[in-house]
């Protein structure tokens, strides 16, 4: 028992670099997913005139990503809470969550979200300033008020409120005994699937009453409970070295399970009646999400364990990048989808320009300033002692950002001035979701 306690303490005190890398890669996948939203047939804020329909390659990729990337991010957030909790009281924990989550959410709702709603509804408003007085005219999509991609931040803050009264229990000896018993089960082949049971039950009981994922919190209880279970699963799984080692060793088993369940999910329900297909989909979703998540964790723990300057920089940037990326994509996409160039050219241009602009804004206007760091949920640094030592790295990040930004901007300007005609498409054109 003492040995297990020491192992668990070591797991919590030693930084798990593979979790940082996973978080970085997942946020980048969210960025690419939102690029894809411009070019698939689902409803979004800006759309290309040519889109990929159902059962296309893009459709399969996006459905697959949609099933597991956000649940895994929630699971990793649960692990992060476990590692960062320390001896904080419930009030200290909530205070930290208020600064890291609620402040960026509040600021983002009034700055980052309105520009997205305005872009979608430019036919109704002459300018962004004209839109702001109408910001509270109803709830999006019929109205104008929304938190858009910041729903993820709102859900994390809500989960923090829910678990805060139970923090003492979650770090008690009784809870450690419970995790120890689970570790014996999880260590068996595919034993971690025991966590799928509460996920599956939550969907079977709640989906009939909350069939759509609205991201509206109070009308989205099937998704809220689903994510709460993933959060607690991450709190338990990734804090125990025996469990994470077992996941690493079984990574190919989880890969096989993930591949099999994903193929069944995206084929069999369409061969059934609508009611039966929806039920099978709801039953398979937790298996796909969890097995894909454990596959990613297993391979990450095997291969993504290195610490370097890039990890430090990217891990610090990833949260502001998430907050910024979607409004940047929407604004840039709004102009570029009108260009008379190929779909592939639009994809590449929107991707490169949005990524570069987001990184440049973060690097030059957020990272150096304490007030901006607070607004974007970043940790405060003391005399830059906690910041990565860039001079020791062969990667000259500031120069790369600056040069790459200039190259992309000049390239976009060259395309614009070289005779490429802009097509006159409808303002605010949107498409219904499937």
Q: Report the candidate in 428, 421, 323 with the shortest Cα–Cα distance to residue 27.
A: 323
- Which residue(s) pair with 145 in the sheet? 139
**Residue 423 three-state SS:** coil
Q: Report the candidate in 123, 323, 142, 427 with the shortest Cα–Cα distance to residue 131.
A: 123
Check residue 420 and give its pLDDT: 42
Say how far apart CA 375 and CA 105 lie, in whole Å. Answer: 9
Contact 226, 71 (CB under 8 A): yes
Q: Tokens representing 166?
A: 């139970």
Q: Kindly report, residue by residue over 152-211, the tens digit of the pLDDT.
A: 999 999 999 999 999 888 888 888 898 888 889 988 999 999 999 999 999 999 999 999
> For 64-90, what is the mean pLDDT?
91
Q: Kindly report, residue by residue over 226-263, the tens digit of the pLDDT.
A: 999 999 999 999 888 999 999 999 999 999 999 999 99
Concatenate the DSSP letters of all residues of 89-118 into one string: -HHHHHHHHIIIIIHHHHHHHHHHHHHHHH
**Residue 172 three-state SS:** coil
Say what the pTM is. 0.86
> For 30-54, what is the mean pLDDT?
94
Q: Kindly report, residue by residue over 291-336, the tens digit of the pLDDT.
A: 999 999 999 999 999 999 999 999 999 999 999 999 999 999 999 9
Q: Tokens representing 110?
A: 């009034």
CA distances from 215 to 154, 200, 278 (A): 9, 19, 19
Say how far apart CA 235 and CA 72 lie, in whole Å. Answer: 12
């Amino acid at each position: 028992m003492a040995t297990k306690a020491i192992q668990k303490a070591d797991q919590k005190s030693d930084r798990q670099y593979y979790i940082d890398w996973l978080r970085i890669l997942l946020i980048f996948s969210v960025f690419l997913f939102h690029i894809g939203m411009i070019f698939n047939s689902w409803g979004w804020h800006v759309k290309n005139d040519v889109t990929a329909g159902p059962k296309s390659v893009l459709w399969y990729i996006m459905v697959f990503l949609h099933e597991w990337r956000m649940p895994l991010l929630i699971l990793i957030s649960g692990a992060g809470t476990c590692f960062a909790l320390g001896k904080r009281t419930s009030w200290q924990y909530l205070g930290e969550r208020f600064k890291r989550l609620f402040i960026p959410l509040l600021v983002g709702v009034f700055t980052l979200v309105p520009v997205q709603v305005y872009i979608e509804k430019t036919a109704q408003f002459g300018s962004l300033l004209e839109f702001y007085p109408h910001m509270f005219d109803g709830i999006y999509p019929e109205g104008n008020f929304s938190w858009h991609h910041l729903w993820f931040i709102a859900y994390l803050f809500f989960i923090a409120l829910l678990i805060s009264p139970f923090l003492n229990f979650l770090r008690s000896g009784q809870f450690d005994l419970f995790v120890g018993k689970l570790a014996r089960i999880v260590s068996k082949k595919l034993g971690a699937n025991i966590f799928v049971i509460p996920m599956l039950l939550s969907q079977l009981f709640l989906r009939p009453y909350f069939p759509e994922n609205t991201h509206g919190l109070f009308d989205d209880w099937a998704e809220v409970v689903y994510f709460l279970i993933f959060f607690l699963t991450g709190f338990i799984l990734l804090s125990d070295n025996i469990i994470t080692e077992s996941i690493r060793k079984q990574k190919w088993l989880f890969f096989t399970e993930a591949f099999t369940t994903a193929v069944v999910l995206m084929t069999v329900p369409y061969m059934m009646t609508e009611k039966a297909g929806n039920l099978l989909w709801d039953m398979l979703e937790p298996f796909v999400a969890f097995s894909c998540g454990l596959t990613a964790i297993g391979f990450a723990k095997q291969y993504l364990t290195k610490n370097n300057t890039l990890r430090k920089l990217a891990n610090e940037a990833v949260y502001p990048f998430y907050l910024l990326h979607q409004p940047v994509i929407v604004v840039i996409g709004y102009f570029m989808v009108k260009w008379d160039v190929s779909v592939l050219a639009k994809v590449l241009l929107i991707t490169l320009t949005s990524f570069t602009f987001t990184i440049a804004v973060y690097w030059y206007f957020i990272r150096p300033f304490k007030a901006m760091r607070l607004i974007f949920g970043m940790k405060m640094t003391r005399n830059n002692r906690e910041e990565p030592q860039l001079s020791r790295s062969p990667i000259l990040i500031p120069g790369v950002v600056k040069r790459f930004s200039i190259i992309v901007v000049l390239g976009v300007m060259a395309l614009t001035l070289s005779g490429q005609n802009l097509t006159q498409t409808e303002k605010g054109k949107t498409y219904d979701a499937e």
